[in-house]
Amino acid sequence: AQSVTQLGSHVSVSEGALVLLRCNYSSSVPPYLFWYVQYPNQGLQLLLKYTSAATLVKGINGFEAEFKKSETSFHLTKPSAHMSDAAEYFCAVRASGSARQLTFGSGTQLTVLP
């Protein structure tokens, strides 16, 4: 079985500051990992995904994440926060080679302060 834990349900940063959203996973087989973003009253949009290629993954809107097997982590970062980054962010995991569904974390609400 797979699961993800997102540390910190709310994160606040100042505009221009580093964004760091934490995700740890548990998986009995090599995982595929994803970060999604959700704006109010909208569906989820994929930011980036790790599928066992490069461990540093670059996504849209300047976000990136690094897969660290030794730490079972897949933290999301962005060097400089923008007001438009304010949203809820979800980490998700799926077992590689499986047709099954993604398992999501409980989400981190990012607030960007002016």
Kindly indicate which of the ranges 14-22, 66-74, 75-83, 92-100 contains the residues binding other proteins, using the contact rule CB under 8 A. Answer: 92-100
Shortest Cβ distance from residue 99 to other proteins (Å)?
A: 5
Residue 86 interacting with other proteins (CB under 8 A): no
Enumerate helices (H) and strands (E) in the chain, giving the number of each: 0, 11
Comparing C-alpha atoms, which of 90, 113, 93 is closest to residue 39? 90
Exactly one of 35, 78, 87, 105 binds other proteins (CB under 8 A); that residue is 105
Of 11-70, which residues contact other proteins (CB under 8 A)?
Answer: 32, 34, 36, 41-46, 49, 51
